[in-house]
Structure 1
Amino acid sequence: MEYELIGTIVPAVKCILKPGEAMYTQSGGMMMYTGDINYSTGLRGGVVKSVARQLLARESAFMTTYYAEKHMGIVIFSTTIPGTIQCLKLEKGSSMICQKTAFLCAEEQIMADVVFTKRLRAGLFSGEGFVLQKIYGEGRVFLEIAGDSIIHDLKEGEVLYCNSGNVVAFQDSVDFDITLVKRMSTLLFGGEGNFLVKLTGPGKIILQTQNQMQKVKIYENQ
């Protein structure tokens, strides 16, 4: 599947589908299509997973798949916020954990399931809640980014602290936790809230710049 990222303020991804290729998105994610394109809407992953996605992740239970039949076709999927689009190419056996609103569209071989944060306190205090999305399979997935994206590869034991609103996605190997702001003056007057997200490597993380990304700092484990 060939693709092209288009636009600057509220971007879109143009997917050029050959016969037999397919992309799917949530309800409302498709902007336009042309050529020999057909589509179908259904409960992707079965009833239980689809209802869980709607009730817990507040995403549509129904997904629409667009596919090219005998000839080539073009489908354009657009974002809903000013920012950028991040393309991830997942290999077989790999997975990413994403915030609930990050998913834009993906190739047919990619699956998106609801998952819960591993630690109770991370779900309670991180601002992301207990529910995230696990994206896995083999193929390309496109994520919505608020602002610009910053990708960082954490080494084993390397720690990154950031505002919860800046976290877009991270590999399943990354440990997701929260920590209390250390200094009382920062706690009272810093404007960052009482808690920061603590991400511990190894693994890749994707951040977005909309929520004061310049204040992210990387620390080494002591």
Structure 2
Amino acid sequence: MTEWFFHNGQQQAGPLDDAAARNFARANPGAHCWREGFTDWLPVGQVAELYGGTASSPPPPPPPGGGGIWGAFAGGGNPFTPPPPGPASALDYTIHGHEMQYVEVSLAPGDSAIAEAGALLYKDASVDMNTIFGDGSSRDGGSVLDQLWGAGKRVLSGSTLFTTVFTQRGSGPGTVAFSAPYPGTISALKLADYGGRLICHKDSFLAAARGVAIGIYFQRRILTGLFGGDGFIMQKLEGDGIVFIHMGGTLVERTLQPGEVIHVDTGCLAAMTADIDFDVEQVGGIKSMLFGGEGLFFARLRGPGKVWLQSLPFSRLAGRMLASSLVGTREEGGVFGAIGNILDKR
């Protein structure tokens, strides 16, 4: 059962069930209301479910005499103070699968999640899907300049101009699920646990609670930008909510102590905290650089901080698939291709 609370600037009333809340809203059209799933107190005239109208139509006038339930609290102080809403929604989720994972998110009424275009697996009919311009971090949409800046940052970080927002419009919880784009691991990370910021590989972001901002991280070191595996721009996730990032293959988590250094293949870095020092270091001698198979440079990660590594970056998987397809084409061309040419001539 939904529990409603009301206040008129001086006193509060509640909890009330749906029927009592509708009667209360009709008697007190100037009050504000709150229930679980709301991010802030709202005027009752903006909450259609309280009076059966539309969000843009005014509530009916109060009955003669007014009064209502406020008198019950005239000398009783403040019966309830709802917790202040956080900047980002809290999400209940379950990650399913092993090699090909998907994450199932439960949304409370009014809650929203954002996702990359094409990440949807399925959703309940009560979950509204809306494609917006920009990164979707602002709940009110933001100004035109904010939307343009958000969209520009997404393009620079390798994403599309648009973000998909999923909002539960029903009276109970709703479910939406997002799937990984290729074999790997989905990891749920709460940004508040990492100082409110994570730096990610450009293709790592999958979904998040609405309120998480998707920005760009510029790599200022020339060699790192050229040979670090991600170019000069990476994704920056900011906020305090939960984000879901996808990593190819098996996930490896390493917590680095101050001054601790590890060398990583340049494509295997999936995400890191903002305090990690990311640079490149030459692989070794000429033979190692030419024939070692690891390229010219390692990614050098220096603590303190935490890093997330992927055992099978998509670039490596795509390279192996391309190499295999070329070999297969040449082999088939040598036998079956010749037979096909003979048949074609006949």
TM-score, normalised to structure 1, is 0.90
Deviation at 1:52, TM superposition (A): 3.2
**Secondary structure of the corresponding residue to residue 122 of structure 1:** helix
Aligned residue among 4, 8, 17 for 2:107: 17
Overall identity of the aligned pairs, in %:
33
Distance 1:44 1:57 in 2: 12
Structure 2 portions without partners, runs of 5+: 1-90, 136-146, 317-346
Contact 2:157 2:215 in 1 (8 A): no
Distance 1:60 1:26 in 2: 8
The residue type equivalent to 1:28 in the other structure is: G
Deviates more, 1:95-104 or 1:2-11: 2-11
Contact 1:35 1:71 in 2 (8 A): no
Aligned residue among 131, 148, 158 for 1:58: 158
Question: Is the strand fraction higher in 1 or 2?
Answer: 1
The residue type equivalent to 2:106 in the other structure is: I
Distance 1:106 1:24 in 2: 5
Deviation at 1:12, TM superposition (A): 0.5
Deviation at 1:125, TM superposition (A): 1.4
| Cα deviation 1:169-207 (Å, max 9, x = unaligned) | 000000111011123321122110011101111101000
**Secondary structure of the corresponding residue to residue 109 of structure 1:** coil
The residue type equivalent to 2:96 in the other structure is: I
RMSD over aligned CA atoms reads 1.5
Structure 1 stretches of 4+ moved >4 Å: none
Distance 2:196 2:258 in 1: 17
Aligned residue among 77, 91, 97 for 2:178: 77
**Secondary structure of the corresponding residue to residue 52 of structure 1:** helix
| Cα deviation 1:37-92 (Å, max 9, x = unaligned) | 112211234112312322x2221110011011232110000111101101101118
Distance 2:271 2:261 in 1: 15
Deviation at 1:33, TM superposition (A): 0.1
Aligned residue among 144, 160, 178 for 2:246: 144
Greater relative CO (CA pairs within 8 A, separation 6+):
1
The residue type equivalent to 1:66 in the other structure is: F
Q: 1:137 to 1:52 in 2, by over 3 A?
A: closer
Question: Is the helix fraction higher in 1 or 2?
Answer: 2
Distance 1:17 1:103 in 2: 19
Alignment of 1:123-134 (within 5 A): 123-134=225-236
Alignment of 1:82-121 (within 5 A): 82-91=183-192, 93-121=195-223
Distance 2:175 2:217 in 1: 32
Distance 1:161 1:57 in 2: 24
Distance 2:154 2:211 in 1: 18
Partner of 2:150: 49
The residue type equivalent to 2:163 in the other structure is: M
Deviation at 1:35, TM superposition (A): 4.5
Distance 2:202 2:233 in 1: 7
Distance 2:233 2:97 in 1: 31
Distance 1:84 1:62 in 2: 24
